[in-house]
Amino acid sequence: MAGRNSLYIPGPTNVPQRIRNAFAIEQQDMRAVDFPEFTQPLFEDLKKIFKTEEGRVFVFPASGTGGWEAAITNMLSEGDQVLMSHYGQFSWLWVQMCKRFGLNVIEEEVDWGDGVPLKRYAEILEADKGKKIQGVFVTHSETATGVKSDVAAVRKILDELDHPALLFVDAVSSLASMDFRMDEWGVDACVSGSQKGFMLPAGLGIVGISQKGLEAERRSTLHRSFFSFEDMIASNDTGYFPYTPNTLYLKGLRESVDMLLEEGLENVYARHRRLANAVREAVKAWGLSLVAKHEDLYSDTVSAIRVPEGFDGNEVVRHCYKHYDLSLSVSLGKIAGKAFRIGHLGDLNELMVLTPLIGAEMAMKDLGMDIELGSGVAAAQEYLRQK
């Protein structure tokens, strides 16, 4: 098919030309005497993206899943009790990983479309008089459902109860796109990846750890080697890595951080909110609804859109790809086939965000849904014109 594929999945996102250019260099000696002149400012500037001054940021040649494993194995011990909830495919997978590492998981199952169950967390933590719970987990933006959870509210619960549990946050599809405040929210482990808000290909697990989290590493008895914080600190402090780093990705990450800081994080967040709102206006005009149950839960990076009864949302995705060279995302797990997803994050502007709306409208119309061509696009256009 002529032209190019239009990529609107919630990761990997489009890689801007500036970052592609940063990749287009010769390989570099990662043991060279001047390598720390590149890496150490990068480590410091990454802290600005996490909004942490006291914490550390580790960059692993891995994925967000690798970041999950790094946080768990460095900060917890087998048999530790942890409080977790799942309200989508990725929060559920994090629960499964903790179980595999032998953690004692207090598991709260939540309707897909809701977020972190604040009331239940408060009840469980208040009942934990012996302070046995060592970790509390939150998925900030559940990529499978387009649901945002209130991390600050979880920290407030912990503080009001004077509970010492570590706060773990999956920010894979929110960091560098949605407001995130590691220090202010008292986050002890923030896990992200390169392929979403950072606008790179998949391949880096980027993890922010608080000083409290680093102290927990000294008590942890879970086995780790590749993901050892201790090894990373010893090497990173001198500007190097304990193994061969993917230097080209680090060059791309440097360019990504520069782009984010040049735009200004608050402007980045506002841009994502505005484009997400345009998508939501289109969904309303189609007469459809989001999987996220109410406005406070809407993620600004991905929208999961329910299809009418009797239709298959995953067929909408397949039809878009086959007939219009447009990549949207299928629905997963409990809502498989009941929705389709549009990713609206990363290197994105007003005209770009109209593209998936055009394709989705045509596909839904082709498949027999009662969709008026142009209705969602017009609603999004009107919103963008006025806002």
- Distance, CA of 143 to CA of 302 (rounded, Å): 7
Beta bridge partners of 327: 7
CA angle 328, 356, 292 (to 5 degrees): 65
| Domains within the chain, CATH numbers bracketed | 6-12+265-386 (3.90.1150.10), 17-262 (3.40.640.10)
Find the angle CA(211)-CA(212)-CA(217) to the nearest 5 degrees.
95
Instruction: Name which of 163, 170, 172 is nearest 187 in CA terms.
Output: 170
The secondary structure element, H or E, covering residue 192 is strand 189-193
Angle at alpha carbon of residue 28, lines to 241 and 243, rounded to 5°:
20
d(CA 331, CA 264): 32
- Beta-carbon contacts of 266 under 8 Å, excluding residues fewer than 6 positions away, are none
Q: Is 333 left (phi over 0), alpha (psi -120 to 50) or beta?
A: left
CB 151 within 8 A of CB 187: yes
Handedness of CA 280, 119, 187, 86 (dihedral sign): negative
Q: Write down the pLDDT at residue 87.
A: 97
Task: List per-residue pLDDT tens for the chain, 387 residues long.
Answer: 788 899 999 999 999 999 999 999 999 999 999 999 999 999 999 999 999 999 999 999 999 999 999 999 999 999 999 999 999 999 999 999 999 999 999 999 999 999 999 999 999 999 999 999 999 999 999 999 999 999 999 999 999 999 999 999 999 999 999 999 999 999 999 999 999 999 999 999 999 999 999 999 999 999 999 999 999 999 999 999 999 999 999 999 999 999 999 999 999 999 999 999 999 999 999 999 999 999 999 999 999 999 999 999 999 999 999 999 999 999 999 999 999 999 999 999 999 999 999 999 999 999 999 999 999 999 999 999 997
Q: What's the per-residue H, E or C state across 41-105?
A: HHHHHHHHHHCCCCCEEEEECCCHHHHHHHHHHHHCCCCCEEEEEECCHHHHHHHHHHHHCCCEE
What is the pLDDT at residue 2? 86
Q: Which residues contact 103 (CB under 8 A, 6 or more apart)?
A: 72, 76, 78, 79, 80, 81, 82, 135
Task: Give the contacts of 291 (CB within 8 A, at least 6 positions apart).
Answer: 112, 113, 145, 146, 147, 304, 305, 306, 331, 335, 339
Q: What are phi and psi of 343, to 5 degrees?
A: -90, 130
Give the model confidence (pLDDT) of 30-71 as tens digits.
Answer: 999 999 999 999 999 999 999 999 999 999 999 999 999 999
pLDDT at 387: 77
* Chain center to CA of 378: 29
Residue pLDDT, tens place only, 329-383:
999 999 999 999 999 999 999 999 999 999 999 999 999 999 999 999 999 999 9
Residue 364 is encoded by which pair of tokens?
């839904």
